Amino acid sequence: MSEPAADSSSPAGAIDLDAAWKLHPQVALRPEPFGALLYHFGTRKLSFLKNRTIVEIVESLPEHPNVGAALQAQGIEAAASRPYLRALSTLADSHMIVPS
């Protein structure tokens, strides 16, 4: 099983678990068989989401009051959340997702 990370050359920081997040208004998400492509029209950066679970989490972020609720809605337990949080942190660091 591939890790649900977003590819990035910069190290991931911490994401605020208590904040609500959404895709940046200049980001397009295109589903693919492996996961999805994210393209930021402002920075012209391309990111890859490596599995459907992280895609579903990212797509559902605006529907939840915070990251923890989005993970719980996908059935991700706290013990299994680390790779998803790392992927979301990478997306936040690259401005693919932003606080709502």
Give residue limits of the domains in the chain.
Answer: 21-99
**Secondary structure in 3-state letters for 1-53:** CCCCCECCCCCCCCCCCCCCEEECCCEEEEEECCEEEEEECCCCEEEEECCHH
pLDDT tens for each residue of the chain, 100 residues long: 444 544 433 334 678 889 999 999 999 999 999 999 999 999 999 999 999 999 999 999 999 999 999 999 999 999 999 999 999 999 999 999 999 9
Protein fold of 21-99? Outer Surface Protein A; domain 3 (3.90.930)
Whole-model pTM: value is: 0.85
List the one residue out of 60, 74, 53 whose CA is nearest residue 22: 60
